[in-house]
Amino acid sequence: MVTGMEFVKGGVCAAKGFKAAGIHCGIRKNKTKKDLALIVSEKRAAAACVYTRNLVKGAPIGVTRAHVADGYAQAIVCNSGIANTCAADGMETANGMCNIAAQALGIAQEDIVVASTGVIGPSLPLTPIRAHIGELAAALSPSGSEDAAEAIMTTDTVKKEAAVSFQADGVECRIGGIAKGSGMIHPNMATMLVFVTTDCAISQEMLQRALSRDVVDSFNMVSIDGDTSTNDMVAVLANGMAENPKITEEGPAYTAFCQALAAVTRSLCRMLAADGEGATKLLDCTVSGAPDTATAKTAAKSVICSSLVKTAMFGADANWGRVLCALGYCGAPLDVNKIDVSFKSAAGEVAVCKNGAGIPFDEDSAKKILSEDDIQILIDLHSGDAGAQAWGCDLTYDYVKINGDYRT
Amino acid sequence: MVTGMEFVKGGVCAAKGFKAAGIHCGIRKNKTKKDLALIVSEKRAAAACVYTRNLVKGAPIGVTRAHVADGYAQAIVCNSGIANTCAADGMETANGMCNIAAQALGIAQEDIVVASTGVIGPSLPLTPIRAHIGELAAALSPSGSEDAAEAIMTTDTVKKEAAVSFQADGVECRIGGIAKGSGMIHPNMATMLVFVTTDCAISQEMLQRALSRDVVDSFNMVSIDGDTSTNDMVAVLANGMAENPKITEEGPAYTAFCQALAAVTRSLCRMLAADGEGATKLLDCTVSGAPDTATAKTAAKSVICSSLVKTAMFGADANWGRVLCALGYCGAPLDVNKIDVSFKSAAGEVAVCKNGAGIPFDEDSAKKILSEDDIQILIDLHSGDAGAQAWGCDLTYDYVKINGDYRT
């Protein structure tokens, strides 16, 4: 942790001037499941977003992109249950959702970030949203982060929130966020739904720069199942209410902001991977000794994405051959005869492969190490100084169960 | 089926002059499981091979490559249980296996194709092979295809054999093969182990050309789990004993040979996909209306590889949004607003998506169609005349079970 930075409570409402709420409005049949979230800034905020690279995009993506084109937004409205993707009336519905939220909040429709997550295909009904928006707006509270985090969950089993405080030019600022995402998460795009808020004063240009740089090493290095979703986005709102001197260029304050953002996004990444659909274990793959960062990233992602590595980890089986196999087909030109592999967890560390070949190890202690729920796969390519980290999870019976009949 | 071609029995021994055998020699602990196969041609044969593109390669790959560099081979020896990959003594062992087989058969060591499949890492012991090679050679028989097919199985649940007879310049020829492969199967390489034999007289050059062209549309379009194995190869031996005029250039006889090869390889592809680890269903994805073949292949493979599509098929869930999602992230520049999708099986056909959007369909009949064990996913991109076909399987509890603790 960087000096002057510390984790704080409050999630997406940790920063000054932000309120949130989450309720059940009726998009989902299950009345105990919240399905509509609202996050609002007291003041209009600088806004930065990254979006899915899937060619099939949810209608909310297009609407949000248009709304933040001017660099500003003031509220985020998001439903779970239906993705509003591939539906004939998608754009109309996404615009309607913004209109309903804007009227309830008394702000401009163009200052709304809209997002949806859930089943692809069906039309998203506006009636339950219209009927309950008053209730949702009335519920807005500086302690509403948990409810909002809950309302955006789909197959997630836990709410995901993180926040830190940090110093920018001697002024205390806060940044925090919530996330959802459990399946359909894969590198090479802005995956899942992540909403981050900060009271730090920062220009829209520097905010977008910080976010675009951050996702490359954070959310783009998470993979649950290799599927890249149609709807996901990461949105950051910065309302400046901490009253630090506005960050408009690179320098110590910008660096502090980026470090704080990274602390929040890395925390959310680990939570997302650990809560992968059906997952029992977080896999954290660190590649070192790579000739360049691109090679390190490609290698780390390939290991995290391998179904055979993932099932071996589920079985606490130190089948390092599958790790080497995944490195071999990753596409980067590795010298496989230099690769070392070890597994590490709270129960210890075991080296299993040296110079691309197996070495004797104690199976019992390897089993013990791999029976923990937070596993590190450490790979040294011995071919340079670059490194990368990727996060994933094991592949289990429950992944199959959850996805075998998601719609019913 | 092309005129004059018909499926025949006999697998890898259907062609004149080939014998095969498979026995338990002791590489595997389970004595009821055969683990060593031998396929021998009466005469030295033209040989063509394609190999895995994984950078981590089993030692047998290098030895086989050297042995067939002169274009000829006479026998194939293959064990299951241990892959002889990433073991320090790998090359020595692979050469030793060839030496043992060559001595038993009284042929040159350089005329042996060697292959191994199984766990990566451990050393492959030569002692059981040396002890039982005499028994194996004595068991060689023109009806030995089934035993050989059984001996190369790993997590396969069924033996895989196919053979056809065809006419080359008015002379009846035969071509047949055996295959193994159940997990670690993925496009973009010469996957799994496939041994094909033919009595057709064809030059080594034309044989290699036919094989290299064929795998692009056959084995490279099969995916079980996205993992590309370290050991797999497709080897074809042509001994010329049908005494047809030797095929040395393109023309009707070469075309007939290619069609016969395709009939055998397509049959094996479907068997491999249907017997994917834990699979309950064969998925056959046909993309039409593509602007070019590369786009069609990329699209078909992306659908077949999607964990979310695979689990939906396991659950007989007509979740076509996942098909569209997989098309959207496949990497080819598709016009998603033109895409039609339907599902088809012995129980009928149901259209689920038109112009990139959902259309009303009867969920009950869709469920019935998807409850069959041979499912076609039909995709029309409405953007040209090119097409492609890919084969895969559903993702099930048993895939996780099989791979969760493979080594024990």
**Per-residue model confidence as pLDDT tens digits over B163-195:** 999 999 999 999 999 999 865 554 332 247 999
Which residue on chain B is closest to A224 by alpha carbon? B307
Query: Considering only A297-306, A313-322, B188-197, B384-393, which range has the smallest mean pLDDT?
Result: B188-197
**Site from B56, B117, B314, B398 to mutate, A interface, most A CB atoms within 10 angstroms:** B56
d(CA B185, CA B390): 13
d(CA A59, CA A277): 25
Report the pLDDT averaged over residues A334-349: 95
**Site from B86, B188, B371 to mutate, A interface, most A CB atoms within 10 angstroms:** B86
Residue A329 touches chain B, beta carbons under 8 Å: yes
* Strand ranges across the sheet with A374-380: A357-358, A348-354, A340-345, A374-380, A282-290, A386-393
Which residue on chain A is closest to B89 by alpha carbon? A357
Look at A406 and B325 and tell me if their CB atoms are within 8 Å. Answer: no
Q: How many CB pairs under 8 A join A and B?
A: 197
- Catalytic annotation on A191? yes
Q: Give me the interface pTM, i.e. the ipTM.
A: 0.70
Look at B324 and A86 and tell me if their CB atoms are within 8 Å. Answer: yes
Q: In chain A, what residues touch B325 (CB-CB under 8 Å)?
A: 54, 56, 120, 184, 227-230
A232-264 as b/e: b if 16+ CB within 10 A: bbbbbbbbbbbebebbeeeeebbebbbbbbbbb
A20-65 pLDDT, tens digit per residue, is 999 999 999 999 999 999 999 999 999 999 987 777 788 999 999 9
Residue B62 touches chain A, beta carbons under 8 Å: no
Q: In chain B, what residues touch A186 (CB-CB under 8 Å)?
A: 329
Look at B229 and A325 and tell me if their CB atoms are within 8 Å. Answer: yes
The whole-angstrom distance between A370's CA and the closest CA on chain B is: 12
Look at B120 and A307 and tell me if their CB atoms are within 8 Å. Answer: no
Look at A356 and B86 and tell me if their CB atoms are within 8 Å. Answer: yes
The whole-angstrom distance between B254's CA and the closest CA on chain A is: 34
d(CA A195, CA A19): 13
B307-358 pLDDT, tens digit per residue, is 889 999 999 999 898 899 899 888 898 998 999 999 999 999 999 999 998 8
Instruction: List the beta strands (DSSP E) in B8-159.
Output: 18-23, 36-51, 72-82, 112-119
> Does the pLDDT value for residue B228 go beyond 70?
no
Which residue on chain A is closest to B330 by alpha carbon? A54
Q: How far is CA A5 from the centre of its chain?
A: 21
Look at A120 and B321 and tell me if their CB atoms are within 8 Å. Answer: yes
Which residue on chain A is closest to B228 by alpha carbon? A329
Determine how many CB atoms are found less than 10 A away from the CB of residue B358: 20
pLDDT range class, residue A242, cuts 50, 70, 90 = very high
Report the pLDDT averaged over residues A316-329: 90
What's residue B8's pLDDT? 96
pTM of the model: 0.79
What's residue A86's pLDDT? 82
Look at A399 and B400 and tell me if their CB atoms are within 8 Å. Answer: yes
Could you say which of B56, B305, B406 has the minimum Cβ distance to residue A336?
Answer: B56
Percent of chain B clearing pLDDT 70 (strictly above): 94
User: What is the average pLDDT value for chain B, to the nearest integer?
Assistant: 91
B15-45 pLDDT, tens digit per residue, is 999 999 999 999 999 999 999 999 999 999 9
A203-235 pLDDT, tens digit per residue, is 999 999 999 999 988 888 887 666 666 677 899
Residue A227, both tokens = 């599927």
B232-278 pLDDT, tens digit per residue, is 789 999 999 999 999 999 999 999 999 999 999 999 999 988 888 78
Could you say which of B85, B227, B317 has the minimum Cβ distance to residue A406?
Answer: B317
- Segment 190-249 of chain B within 8 Å of chain A by CB: 225-230
Residue A306 touches chain B, beta carbons under 8 Å: yes
Report residue B167: phi and psi, to 5°: -105, 130
The whole-angstrom distance between B327's CA and the closest CA on chain A is: 8
What's residue B408's pLDDT? 47
Query: Considering only A182-196, A348-362, B11-25, which range has the smallest mean pLDDT?
Result: A182-196
Q: Which residues contact B111 (CB under 8 A, 6 or more apart)?
A: B44, B67, B72, B73, B74, B75, B102
Look at A85 and B396 and tell me if their CB atoms are within 8 Å. Answer: no
d(CA B119, CA A125): 53
Strand, coil or helix: B264: helix
Single-letter amino acid code for the residue at A258: C
What's residue A183's pLDDT? 59
Look at B404 and A307 and tell me if their CB atoms are within 8 Å. Answer: no
Strand pairing of B348-354 and B357-358?
antiparallel
**Stronger pLDDT, A119 or B66, i.e. the higher one:** B66
What's residue A190's pLDDT? 29
Could you say which of B314, B317, B327 has the minimum Cβ distance to residue A56?
Answer: B327
- Segment 346-405 of chain A within 8 Å of chain B by CB: 353, 356-358, 395-397, 399-405
Report the pLDDT averaged over residues B127-149: 98
Catalytic residue among A117, A154, A155, A191: A191
Exposure of B169 by Cβ count < 10 A (0-12 exposed, 13-18 middle, 19+ buried)? middle
d(CA A127, CA B311): 32
Look at B322 and A120 and tell me if their CB atoms are within 8 Å. Answer: yes
The answer to whether residues A244 and A361 touch, using CB atoms and an 8 Å cutoff, is: no
Q: In chain B, what residues touch A225 (CB-CB under 8 Å)?
A: 307-308
What's residue A186's pLDDT? 47
| Residue found under tokens 């795009």 | A189
Single-letter amino acid code for the residue at A305: C
Catalytic residue among B191, B228, B230, B298: B191
Residue B161, both tokens = 């054999």
Could you say which of A120, A307, A400 has the minimum Cβ distance to residue B226?
Answer: A307
What's residue A232's pLDDT? 79
Could you say which of B230, B317, B406 has the minimum Cβ distance to residue A407?
Answer: B317
What's residue A121's pLDDT? 82
Which residue on chain A is closest to B189 by alpha carbon? A329
Report the pLDDT averaged over residues A180-193: 56
d(CA A233, CA A168): 27
Look at B227 and A307 and tell me if their CB atoms are within 8 Å. Answer: yes
Report the pLDDT averaged over residues B46-74: 91
Look at B86 and A357 and tell me if their CB atoms are within 8 Å. Answer: yes
Look at A333 and B305 and tell me if their CB atoms are within 8 Å. Answer: no
Percent of chain B clearing pLDDT 90 (strictly above): 74
The whole-angstrom distance between A213's CA and the closest CA on chain B is: 22
Percent of chain A clearing pLDDT 90 (strictly above): 74
Could you say which of A227, A321, A327 has the minimum Cβ distance to residue B121?
Answer: A321
Could you say which of B183, B324, B357 has the minimum Cβ distance to residue A308?
Answer: B183
Q: In chain A, what residues touch B220 (CB-CB under 8 Å)?
A: none
**Stronger pLDDT, A307 or A199, i.e. the higher one:** A199
Q: In chain B, what residues touch A315 (CB-CB under 8 Å)?
A: 403-406
- Sign, Cα dihedral of A48, A50, A55, A57: negative
Q: In chain B, what residues touch A314 (CB-CB under 8 Å)?
A: 400, 404
The answer to whether residues B353 and B347 touch, using CB atoms and an 8 Å cutoff, is: no
pLDDT range class, residue B4, cuts 50, 70, 90 = confident
User: What is the average pLDDT value for chain A, to the nearest integer?
Assistant: 91
Report the pLDDT averaged over residues A120-141: 95
| Residue found under tokens 């046909």 | B286
Could you say which of B314, B334, B400 has the minimum Cβ distance to residue A396?
Answer: B400
Q: In chain B, what residues touch A51 (CB-CB under 8 Å)?
A: none
pLDDT range class, residue A237, cuts 50, 70, 90 = very high
Look at A395 and B397 and tell me if their CB atoms are within 8 Å. Answer: no
